Structure 1
Amino acid sequence: MQICNHSIDKYQSKLVALGQKDELTDIANRRFFMSSIKQLAQKEQSNYFILTLDLDHFKKLNDQYGHAVGDQALINVANTINTIIPNGSLLARLGGEEFAILLYSDTRDHAIAISNNIRVAIAEHSITTSKGEKVNCTTSIGISPLTLDFSASMQLSDKALYQAKEKGRNCVVFLNNIPVQAENNEYKN
């Protein structure tokens, strides 16, 4: 009976992990990310920002080099971001080439600086194809503060991401939902 219970517990742990992690990148998945920001928004959210990242021209990379290279790019991006984000932050793959970060940061400027560090690190990291070609990716990043209305915070971060893409990609855009001090800042080196 004890062996059977141990097997059931082990199986349940695997099911929980499968429900929370992205299989390819081994980071949190969309479901776990949304659940986490919802819980955090109901508590203390003043030191958190939502970053939405999208790899620029990823379809072209997949079409030109194949899905194996595309998959490796996604894995490398996840690993690169995990080396940069501070403790207390959460990285997730929302789907396809889109990622999100629940970033723990004391200030807006620090969140922007971390976002730019991520952007630069991704652009500098290359993947070597089976033919020996070096392939680089860039990313566009949208940032917004996490508020009690986590859904609106996600929408604002997504809007900032699309503004980054409209501005030429490979940049960071911060949007704040405070109407009196409406902020729209682009940051690119």
Structure 2
Amino acid sequence: MKKLTVLKSLIVGLTVFLGLSLTSCNDDRYEPTPVKLEDVNGNYKARLVTSQGSKFNEKIIEFKAKDTIITFKDFPVREIVKTIITDPVKADTALAHIGKVEYTLNYQSKINSGQNVVELSFEPKTLAFQIPVDGVVKNAVVKLVAKQKGFFIGYDWSLRFGLEAEKITVDGLELTPYQTIKYDVPISVKN
């Protein structure tokens, strides 16, 4: 009889313990860390999707965001050069001689606390660089635009944005016909 009472007491105690431990789980909620404007600052590695008409190219790029400026140490100009120089061999030779093209992209930021994101409104400048082809240096000026806002997402701490090369001018003459080149960064993560 004594063994049965002890066993019943242990079962009751165990049941009460499990019941109390499970009730604490009912109130667990995910509380995201609120984003701050300075959270955007940092070095990023990104997946860049470049498209022009039905042609798509994808590659990994790196850039830095600091104090309302995104800096690309090596802005992807391959599609721009191949649009200007239609001969693939000459375009590849020109790309090898151009090297790295640096570009800075200005932005203004604003916190959207309801979505836990930092919204980025871009102010693109023109991209200007020189293209050596057939012993002549051509001056290319690319008008870049940002038709949508960019976002720094508080959930996964990633940066997402897009740009378009709306117009290309070579030695003062606008390229026509011209098909817009789109640069989309669907996700980038801090290094």
TM over 0.5: no
Q: Larger % of strand: which?
A: 2
TM-score, normalised to structure 2, is 0.32
TM-score, normalised to structure 1, is 0.32
